[in-house]
Amino acid sequence: MSAPFHRIDALLCTFRRPEVRDTLLSLEALDLPAGIDLRIVVADNDDTPSAREIVFETAAQMRLPVLYLHAPAFNISVARNAGLEAASERQADWVAFLDDDERADADWLARLVARAKETGADAVFGPSLAEYGPDAPDWIRGQDYHSNRPVRRGTVVQTGHTCNALLRWNSAAWRDQRFDVARGRAGGEDTEFFFRLHHAGARFEIAEDAIVREGVAPSRMTFGWILRRKFRSGQSYAAGAHGWKSRAARCGLAFGKGLFCACTAGLFAASRAGRNRWLLRGALHAGVVAGCLNLRQPQIYGLDSRP
C-alpha cells in the first residue's frame, strides 16, 4: 500500500530531561528529503510543565515548527497518545518516534523514509546506539547492554521500539490505535503497541543505517538497573503471545532457557563479565515467564528524572 510522505510528525515525549534540547537541535540539523514537511511534537509528561521553558527557548532558534504539549500523568502512554492525537489532528501521513535523550544523525529520517519507500513497509525501525563515557565498566561496554537494535525473527519483524521508528499513520487502518495506559508506568508499552499493529496486519522493516545515539547516564551503568531492564523487556515480549496455548508454549520455553542461563552463570562464577552475561539473559527469560503468567509489572516510570 502506497502512502504519501509529505507531512511527518516527529513525536518526542519528555520527562525532566534537559537533554531534550540536544534532541531538538539534532532534529533541526536533519538533511530532510525534498518535499518533506516535518513538525516536531514534544509531549511533557511531568505534573508541572517543567520542559516548557527549555522547549520554547530551543524552538526559538529553530526553523522547524515545534508544538509543545503538556500531558501530565507520570505515565508515558498518556504522553505518547497526546502526540498521536496531535498527529491525527494535523493529518500527518507518517509519525516518527525518538527519545528525549537521543540525538539523531543528520540522515536519520531520510534513511527511514528511503527504507519505507523501498520495501513498502508500514513501519521502519532503526538502531539506538549507546555512547559510553570513560568510566563505563568493561563488562558493560563489552556487551553493549544499553544499545537498542531492532530484531528480525526468521524473516519477520514482529515489533519494535519508539526510540527509533517511522510509522504510517493518516491512511492506516490502525490510526485509532493508542498506547496502553495500563503499561505506561512500567514500560514496554511500545513493544505491546507494535505487536498489536503487527497482529492487525502491519508489516515492519529495519533500517540499520538510520541511527540515533544516546549517552548513558552513570545511574544506568549498574547490574541492578540492567537486570530490571532485562526483566521488564521479557515481560513486554510476552505480549506477543495470543491465546493460552501460545502463552503456555512461550512460558515453558522461557522457563527452560532461564534455568539453563542460571546453571551456566554458575560455571562462570569466577568471571564477572561471563557471570553477569548469563544472569542477565536469565532475567530476560524470567520476565517472559512473568509476562505469560500476567504477573504485575513494577511501576517505575515517573519515580525519578531518568526512568
Residues 154 and 256 in one domain: no
The tally of domains found in the chain comes to 2
pLDDT in tens, 238-266: 776 777 778 898 899 999 999 999 999 99
Residues 234 and 201 in one domain: no
Residue entry with cell 518526542: 12
Residues 141 and 92 in one domain: yes
Residues 32 and 158 in one domain: yes
Residues 164 and 73 in one domain: yes
What's the average model confidence in pLDDT over 274-300?
Answer: 84
Residues 159 and 272 in one domain: no
Q: Determine the distance from the C-alpha atom of residue 2 to the mean position of all C-alpha atoms in its chain, rounded to a whole number.
A: 25
User: Does residue 1 register a pLDDT over 90?
Assistant: no
What's the average model confidence in pLDDT over 1-12?
Answer: 84
Instruction: Give the per-residue pLDDT at 3.
Output: 66
pLDDT in tens, 90-122: 999 999 999 999 999 999 999 999 999 999 999
Where a domain ends, among 195, 220, 245? 220
One DSSP character per residue, 196-247 reads: HHHHTT--EEE-TT--EEEEPPGGG-SHHHHHHHHHHHHHHHGGG--SHHHH
Residues 74 and 207 in one domain: yes
User: Does residue 300 register a pLDDT over 80?
Assistant: no
Residues 210 and 230 in one domain: no
pTM tops 0.85? yes
List the alpha helices (DSSP H) in the chain.
Answer: 20-28, 52-59, 76-90, 108-119, 138-143, 189-199, 223-237, 244-267, 272-292
The residue range of the domain holding 18 is: 7-220
User: Does residue 306 register a pLDDT over 90?
Assistant: no
pLDDT in tens, 222-237: 999 999 888 888 887 7
Joined together, the cell numbers standing for residue 232 give 521488564
The reply to whether 135 falls in a domain is yes
Instruction: Give the per-residue pLDDT at 288.
Output: 86
Whole-Å CA distances, 71 to 49, 50, 81, 175, 218: 9, 11, 9, 20, 28
The reply to whether 35 falls in a domain is yes
pLDDT in tens, 136-170: 999 999 999 999 999 999 999 999 999 999 999 99
Q: What is the mean pLDDT of the chain?
A: 92
